[in-house]
Amino acid sequence: MRIQLPHSLRSRNAGLFRLAWAQGLSALAGTFLMLALVFYGAQEANVTGLGLLFAAKAAPTLVIALIGGVLADSWSRVKIASGSMATIGVVNVVLAYMLPIFGLSWQVQLLVLVSGFATAVGAPSLYALLPAVVAEEELVRGNAVVRSFRNVGNVVGPGIAVVIAHVVSFQAIILITAFLNVVSALLIARINPVMATRQSHSSSTDWQSVWEVLRQNRWLFFAVPFWGVFIAIHAGAADVTQSIHVVGQMGSGTWSIMMTTMSIGYILGSLVSLKLKVRSLFTTSVLFASLSILQLLASGFSDSVFVLGGASLLTGIGFEISGVLWGASLQSRVPDEQMGRASSFDYAVSFGLTPAGYVIFGFFSISIAVPVLAISSCILALLTAIGVCVGIKLDRRETVKRLVPEV
């Protein structure tokens, strides 16, 4: 089947498809690396080491909000994105040879931290390249093309990684990851921006005014930390405790199936969200996110591949729809001229707490994995109840504000 693109996309499809392929291969590489580390952590039964490793990789997230975004608006996005991707590739080559020697020790964690910083600096430029290769009226379709390539990479990655791990080794997975990173860097370097992009002339006072933006949008003081805590607990339980428990008890094949079905869930969630018409955006976002609890419970109390796969599918659907609704909630409540600063606060806090979750769950012994998953599920259920109660008030207040606009 041949995909027919609009004329404005066809006329510039070289840059668009280089970007789409680069992001698709980058997503595939990210999936490969995560699974390789999980396989190695399960092989060593080293929960603490895996938790610290994920923490090191996620810790530089704050840089995305504070430095990466500034660089993306003030320098060549092509050079930043391609240089970042090439750096990650080099680091992964070194990682492939260091991991068998040092295990999940501090030397490897430091190396992953370097990779995390490179990712943090380059990600804003990578995701900001699309407006430079398609016209403004085609951004939605352009995003659809790029997201499709990324989703395909996330879907096929787990299955391919398991085959490579069984046929060759986890070390081969990391070397292939490095190769994919380098190919992505070369594709990005060949992108020729054809659309005019505005450079930022912001001064340091813009960062200082974040507090003023928050004072004018006080609901963010609850909503953003809420998501930060929710995501941190779920990430720690799912990526650290759950991953090693499932691989250790049911094998890497089961874990691969769970990751694949969850990725399919993300795709289905994006399709469902196109048809949704929701008024209570924040409340509904919280409810859909609570579907992720099912995967934790299934991992702790079921060994059925069908149950685990189904719970993972619902987790992907829930998180994707929740993310869409949360984004719409933020964009509909915050004035456009304040969105940059509000978004930086959202990204920094929502994902900045994730490393803490990885570290905390890394200290729980794998022998108590089931109680840890059960308690985590209960805490997330409690957070859901709190989020819904507060969300109802926030959404009701927003509805009243729209019906009775300020004079």
Residue range 289-301, pLDDT digits in tens: 999 999 999 999 9
pLDDT tens per residue across span 140-189? 466 657 767 877 787 788 778 878 878 888 888 899 999 999 999 999 99
Q: Which residue has the higher pLDDT, 221 or 198?
A: 221
Q: What confidence category does residue 373 fall into, taking pLDDT thresholds of 50, 70 and 90?
A: very high
Q: What is the pLDDT of residue 100?
A: 85
CATH of the domain at 309: 1.20.1250.20
Residues 29 and 169 in one domain: yes
Mean pLDDT across the chain: 80
Q: Do 51 and 361 contact (CB within 8 A), yes or no?
A: yes
Dihedral, CA of residue 206, residue 212, residue 213 and residue 219, to nearest 10: 150
Whether residues 237 and 109 share a domain: the answer is no
* Cβ–Cβ under 8 Å, residues 72 and 199: no
Predicted confidence band of residue 377 (pLDDT cuts 50, 70, 90): very high
328 in any annotated domain: yes
Show which of 142, 168, 194 is a domain's final residue: 194
Give the relative orientation of helices 252-273 and 305-333 as an angle to the nearest 10 degrees: 40
pLDDT of residue 143: 60
Do 102 and 156 lie in one domain? The reply is yes
Q: Which of 249, 382, 383, 384 is nearest to 308 (CA)?
A: 249
| Same domain flag for 177 and 212 | no
Query: Do 219 and 350 share a structural domain?
Result: yes
Q: Which of 134, 164, 194 is the last residue of a domain?
A: 194
> pLDDT grade, residue 202 (50/70/90)?
very low
CA distance 239 to 176: 22
As a whole number of angstroms, the longest Cα–Cα distance in the chain is 69
Q: What confidence category does residue 359 fall into, taking pLDDT thresholds of 50, 70 and 90? A: confident
Question: 3-state DSSP call for residue 44?
Answer: helix
Residues 376 and 260 in one domain: yes
**pLDDT band at 341, cuts 50/70/90?**
low
Given a contact cutoff of 8 angstroms between Cβ atoms, the answer to whether 264 and 155 are in contact is yes
Domain housing 37: 1-194
| Number of domains observed in the structure of the chain | 2
More confident residue, 362 or 351: 362
Residue 202 falls within a domain, yes or no? no
Q: Do 190 and 212 share a domain, yes or no?
A: no
Instruction: Report DSSP letters for 234-301, one per residue.
Output: HHIIIIIIIHHHHHHHH-HHHHHHHHHHHHHHHHHHHHHHTT---S-HHHHHHHHHGGGHHHHHHHHH
pLDDT digits over 385-397, tens only? 999 999 998 888 7
Residues 6+ apart with CB under 8 A from 70: 200, 202
Q: Say if 200 falls within a structural domain.
A: no
CA distance 220 to 213: 10
Instruction: Report yes or no on 4 lying in a domain.
Output: yes
Tens digits of per-residue pLDDT, 129-143? 776 777 655 654 666
Query: Domain boundary at 144, 169, 194, which?
Result: 194
Is 203 within the bounds of a domain?
no
d(CA 303, CA 22): 37
Select from 20, 247, 248 the least CA-distant residue to 129.
Answer: 20
- Together in a domain, 226 and 177: no
151 and 269 inside one domain: no
Q: Do 274 and 181 have their domain in common?
A: no
Residues 311 and 162 grouped into a single domain: no
* 226 and 158 housed in the same domain: no
Number of alpha helices (DSSP H) and beta strands (DSSP E) in the chain: 20, 0
Q: Does 199 fall in a domain?
A: no
